[in-house]
Amino acid sequence: MKMCHRLRAEPFSRIISLLNIPFIIKNIINSGNLPLGATCDVCEDECGTEIGLSDFRCCWCQGCCHASCLNKLSEICDLGHLRQFVVPPNNIKVRSGRIRKRLVIKEVIPPTIPDWSPVIVIGNCSSGSSEAEQILSAFRHVLNPAQVVDLSKRSPEEALEWCHLLSDITCKVIVAGGDGTVGWVFDTIFKLKLKVFCMKVRYATRFVPVFI
């Protein structure tokens, strides 16, 4: 099982200095399903152009590389250009839930990433059409999956627990849904007495995350 990262081979201390994060993150790479126009992080040529599941991509930093270049990648992951919105997996501490047999986040250690402001995405897959499920799935590909919450499986209080765990950090909350879902989340925000610095409501018939 190989690990991946976008940085070239560097001295270990140099890598830690560049990343400016307290824990080392190693991500398993996936084969195929590269975006159109993907460029290899090693040779900088286009990759993922062959038919079928060809070449590789990191599920955290989204870095891509040819199969022939895989052994030239470092094992360290910098979380890519979206690092300021992502909660690093090594910075989360979990515990077992008492009622339901599932893991519950009990602590989040803020990384020392400049301007770090995690994005929490909330949607309800059981309400309306199937678009909410598509949106949540798209965000899970670019964020830590724990940051994406389906209200058909968890309560809005659980989704907004991130704001309590990171009380000294500004979290950005995106609600994917109609008036009912948005109102449900807003009511919970006010009930929990969370500090709101800026609130924007935008309506769209179709939305997918696009990051440049």
**Can you give the pLDDT at residue 210?**
43
Check whether residue 122 and residue 38 sit in a common domain: no
pLDDT score at 208:
45
> How far apart are the C-alpha atoms of 108 and 93, rounded to whole Å?
6
Q: How many domains does the chain have?
A: 2
Domain span at residue 51 reads 3-78
In a domain, 197, yes or no: no
Q: Give a yes or no: residue 163 inside a domain.
A: yes
| pLDDT exceeds 80 at position 204 | no
**Higher confidence at residue 167 or residue 20?**
167
CA distance 123 to 1: 34
Separation between Cα atoms, residue 91 and residue 25, nearest integer Å: 10
The two beta strands, 148-150 and 172-176, are: unpaired
With 0-12 / 13-18 / 19 or more C-beta atoms within 10 angstroms meaning exposed / middle / buried, residue 110 is middle
Average confidence (pLDDT) over 22-44: 78
Residue 86, pLDDT above cutoff 90: yes
pLDDT at 148: 94
DSSP for 77-144 reads: ---GGGGGG---GGGEEEEE-SSSSSEEEEEE-----TT---EEEEE-TTSSSTHHHHHHHHHHTTS-
Residue 203 inside a domain? The answer is: no
Q: Residue 98's pLDDT band (boundaries 50, 70, 90)?
A: low
Structure confidence at residue 15 (pLDDT): 42
State whether 40 and 62 are in the same domain: yes
| Tens digit of each residue's pLDDT (9 = 90 or more) over 134-150 | 889 889 988 999 999 99
pLDDT of residue 14 exceeding 60, the answer is no
Provide the Cα torsion 95, 97, 103, 106; round to 10°. Answer: -40
Note whether residue 201 is domain-resident. Answer: no
pLDDT at 49: 83
Interval 186-200: pLDDT, tens:
899 888 888 776 666
120 within 8 A of 106, measured Cβ to Cβ:
no
141 inside domain: yes
69: pLDDT strictly greater than 80: yes
Q: Are residues 135 and 59 in the same domain?
A: no
* Residue 100, pLDDT score: 59
Structure tokens at 144: 């830590």
- CATH number of the domain encompassing residue 69: 3.30.60.20
- How many whole angstroms separate alpha carbon 89 and alpha carbon 135? 21
Assess whether 183 and 113 both reside in one domain. Answer: yes
Q: Give the model's confidence band at 93: pLDDT under 50 very low, under 70 low, under 90 confident, else very high.
A: confident
Whether 12 and 34 share a structural domain: yes
Length of the chain: 212
- Answer yes or no: is 202 within a domain: no
pLDDT of residue 211: 41
For 34, 136, 176, the CA distances from 203, given in Å and listed in that order, are 30, 17, 10
Q: Are 67 and 56 in contact (CB under 8 A)?
A: yes
pLDDT score of 128: 64
pLDDT category of residue 118 using cuts at 50, 70 and 90? very high
Residues 121 and 107 in one domain: yes
Identify whether residues 39 and 107 lie together within a single domain.
no
If asked whether residues 104 and 69 sit together in one domain, one would say: no
